[in-house]
Structure 1
């Protein structure tokens, strides 16, 4: 047997595998001999069937099977030995006049090779690292929200400007049907608020969505429509009033503070605001980190230039699924997956060059932290180490969970690396400014 490679260009190669009779003859003979021992053919005793009859009945199928085994094993060994970094899988070249009646066979495979490129994490980029600050306006709003949430609801017959309404926004054409609680100060102008004044439970208020709020993104919260739909949304929605309540706000006293945070943790309004600020900015940091990670990935894909064996990959996509794709379908699928493939290559190089490895201890520690957080949500604040270790062991016995957790750990390692090395501009913003930046509306 002989294997050789010819380079078409930097990203494409042809591997030729030549298999002679000496490579497969003994294997085919052994399999046929085993067939003969166990063959049950009328007119012959078991084990006494003439070999010529066995060869006539099974010879071609056994030959194909054994040659294919040799072919696959030798090709795989060759790729490993030559340390070829290939994309997809080798594609056999179809030979119209291939003849299985010959004794020697030659097979050709197309290879798509991974490109050579460099990743520069320190290069100048337009990536912004946001720090989201809970400003005074937000803190005041949150304090008022807490007072209303823990205040006393008093049912009312008619709507007044300071009342809280529970009801449902609907629009059949857009599939909008969302029950929510509102106050009249959420609307962008007083004329809209006055439409509600004097209304009763069961009444329907007709509203135009265009300019309904000071920020179109609020339509996402109150109407549950997607981001792509909110900008310039100009439809009529109905709000059906289901409850009318006035709220007697809770007093900002020690009893309320202890109910919220535990005895003595917060002792003043200033402490309350500090606690709200700490909790809010902790949650904001996670959102800012996710945007930073996404933006770095987009920047790396855009600025790390290399070619791909496009023709090969499209051909491979046609054959890789359960059902073969047409050329047009493969082109469409390639267009969808190209960015993902590019980042896989970039990520692989970053991981290799920065020696980012996931150890068992990394996985165990990450899993333990997640479990403690989940238990805390259900009031289990002080689990024992034995309890945590037992749950960790059960989680990590599930291979799907291990894969999911490994991806999370690697994302964290990539995040730390990007924060350390990526040349990003730091910028402090409030939450509304961040939302606009997240959707590209700065």
Structure 2
């Protein structure tokens, strides 16, 4: 057998594999002998079928199978030994003169080669956000906690801090929905005033247009679609069924211990510090994701290299479950080119800087993820064996294992970028971060 490689250019090559009869004949003979031992042919005892008959019936099919096995094994071995960094998979070249009746064969494969390039981590300055929990946010969360752990009191008449439960009706629009809302959520003094002093059994007529400060609240309360809620302009009748008020929980040790069973909070100051710490930990995850996105965009934009475009488009035609037309493959390439470029950049950064993940690290990462999930359900101290068992089950699922591995890689890359890149750091509130990065109001 002889394998040679010829470079077409820096990004494309042809590998030629020459196979002669001596390379595969012994294996073919062994398979045919095994067939002979088990073949059942009328007129012959089992194991006594003439070899000529076995060859005539099975010889060509066995030879083709063994040549293909040998071809695949030798090609894979060649790519590994030559340390060829290829994109996609080798594509066989069609040879119209090829015949399986010959005793020696020549096969040619097209290769798409990964480009060589350098990565400049500081080609441009990327913006990094430091999201801080504002006093306003902390105070709002303290109030939310007091309300959440507060006591619900039934009222005889509506007042400013009360909530109303009742059924909204509009026959024309098919609205018949029971809902609860706070009087303070209503838009405008006139609407809120209708419920001050209202009693159970009262029927109040309201205009749906701009009834609530947030149009999404109207959607939930009336049970209409998102689009309807924004344009709905009808009268609805609300029959008041309940009037309640939440008496906020006291900020005392009993409440602190409900929130933090380990006794780590003993006063309001410590409670606010905990809220700030927990909030900023969650904000950091979002800031890190935004940073990774921004770095990705910057590296792709500032790292220049060519790709074996025509080869990849040809490879995409047969790479998926469904074969694509040439036009579909071109469109798919254009959609995936940016992602491929970043994969190559990421791979080079990880290789050049020895960033890698071993299985033990992945297990520990999975266990940390599991502990966080269990803590949400009140299990703060799971046993190590339980964590190991759950982690083992999760990582036995290839899709879950890949997802966790990608998360861990992203985490390592973010740490690497923070240590090796120069950023334009901006301190912002969470609301300003959402507005600036996603152009969305955080309160919507």
What TM-score do the two structures reach when normalised by structure 1? 0.81
Query: Cα offset for 1:92?
Result: 0.8
Gaps of 5+ in 1: 171-176
CA distance in 2, matches of 1:194, 1:292: 47
Distance 1:337 1:222, change over 3 A: farther
In the alignment, is residue 426 of structure 1 matched against residue 422 of structure 2? no
Query: Cα offset for 1:278?
Result: 2.2
Confirm or deny: 8 A CA contact 2:18 2:105 kept in the other structure. yes
- Which residue number corresponds to residue 162 of structure 2? 163
In the alignment, is residue 392 of structure 1 matched against residue 385 of structure 2? no
Confirm or deny: 8 A CA contact 1:132 1:429 kept in the other structure. yes
CA distance in 2, matches of 1:222, 1:114: 55
- Which residue number corresponds to residue 173 of structure 1? none
Mean alpha-carbon deviation: is it higher for 47-56 or for 345-354?
47-56
- Which residue number corresponds to residue 96 of structure 2? 96
- Which residue number corresponds to residue 307 of structure 2? 308
CA distance in 2, matches of 1:405, 1:245: 46
Distance 1:339 1:251, change over 3 A: same
- Which residue number corresponds to residue 116 of structure 1? 116
Distance 1:152 1:346, change over 3 A: same
In the alignment, is residue 351 of structure 1 matched against residue 380 of structure 2? no
Distance 1:168 1:276, change over 3 A: farther
Three-state SS of the structure 2 residue aligned to 1:124 is coil
Three-state SS of the structure 2 residue aligned to 1:247 is strand
Structure 1 residues 78-130: Cα deviation after superposition (integer angstroms, max 9, x where no partner): 111211101111111122332222222211111111111222223323x3221
Q: How does 1:139-288 map to 2 (within 5 A)?
A: 139-156=138-155, 160-165=159-164, 182-186=181-185, 207-208=208-209, 212-213=213-214, 219=216, 234-236=230-232, 244-262=243-261, 265-288=264-287
What TM-score do the two structures reach when normalised by structure 2? 0.80
- Which residue number corresponds to residue 41 of structure 1? 41
Query: Cα offset for 1:291?
Result: 1.9
Confirm or deny: 8 A CA contact 1:7 1:14 kept in the other structure. yes
Confirm or deny: 8 A CA contact 1:313 1:334 kept in the other structure. yes
- Which residue number corresponds to residue 410 of structure 2? 411
Q: Superposition RMSD on alpha carbons, in Å?
A: 3.9
Structure 1 residues 326-380: Cα deviation after superposition (integer angstroms, max 9, x where no partner): 2333333333333332222122111111111224543344344344434443444
Distance 1:276 1:327, change over 3 A: same
CA distance in 1, matches of 2:208, 2:180: 16
CA distance in 1, matches of 2:123, 2:340: 22
Task: Give the total of aligned pairs.
Answer: 425
Structure 1 residues 214-246: Cα deviation after superposition (integer angstroms, max 9, x where no partner): xxxx84x9869xxxx999x94338998885432
